[in-house]
Amino acid sequence: MSGIGFFIPILVFGFVILTSIIKILKEYERGVIFTLGRVGRRAAGPGLILLIPVIQVMRKVDMRTLVHDVPTQDVISQDNVSVKVNAVIYYRVVDAVRAVVQVENYMAATSQLAQTTLRSVLGKHDLDEMLQERDKLNKDIQEILDQQTEAWGIKVSNVEIKHVDVDQSMIRAIAKQAEAERERRAKVILAEGEFQAAAKLSEAATVLATAPGAMELRYLNSLQEIAGDRTNTIVFPFSMSQLSEKLRG
């Protein structure tokens, strides 16, 4: 028993030393190794990694695409409408060394940057643009985030605005505004139609005034239209030319 008790601490110590020496990284993992506080140019892995105890330490970095929900942000649009917006961003580490050395916590830093960028970009646009040009806004936010996180070894591949929530009172005001706009357009279209009709009537009157024969044809056409209804009593007046001849006679 005393012999077994002597070997147990040795086995435990050996196991601890062994686990600190041998590291196994998965295919999607990389290891940033610090040797006496200094880091190499490239990350290690995947596979078996051997470390020098005490002298070397390693920090694992996940290289897969990460999905992060941006918390709901209060945004004031350019036309002074208060909305609540949330989004989701897709990003991954492309340089494990920079992701560890250049920023303390790249996940938290990317999240905070996404929140401020979302408010900044959307605040430059009207509510209509937020609702109708979402693809363009997604691309603008993605490009800004990708540019600013490049120094951290982060690649932002996509940004999607999920919801743009407007206050109920503002929704009613927007509905009234849309209704008023529709009425305005209807009145403009009606006025344009009346203007065009008046212009055509003016042209027709000019033609009829300069061509007596055309006036008589129009007169006969009107009589034909009236004759189609048998309930009407038709009185045939003199034509214009006959009336003129009668007056001269």
pLDDT tens for each residue of 167-223: 766 666 666 777 787 888 888 888 888 888 888 777 777 766 676 666 666 666 666
pTM: predicted TM-score of the whole model, two decimal places: 0.64
Q: Residue 1: its pLDDT value, please? A: 47
What residues have CB less than 8 Å from 243, skipping those under 6 apart? none
The interaxial angle of helices 168-210 and 212-227, nearest 10 deg, is 120
Nearest to 42 by CA among 101, 109, 91, 92: 101
Q: Which residues of the chain are modeled with pLDDT < 70? A: 1-7, 11-16, 168-175, 207-209, 211-249
Mean pLDDT of the chain: 82
Q: What is the DSSP letter of 120?
A: H
- Enclosing H/E stretch for 173: helix 168-210
Nearest to 40 by CA among 106, 103, 100: 100
How many angstroms separate the CA atoms of 107 and 70, rounded? Answer: 12
Q: Residue 230: its pLDDT value, please? A: 61
Q: Residue 180: its pLDDT value, please? A: 82
Both tokens of 175, joined, read: 């509905």
Q: Residue 195: its pLDDT value, please? A: 84
The interaxial angle of helices 212-227 and 240-248, nearest 10 deg, is 120
Tell me the DSSP string of 188-207: HHHHHHHHHHHHHHHHHHHH
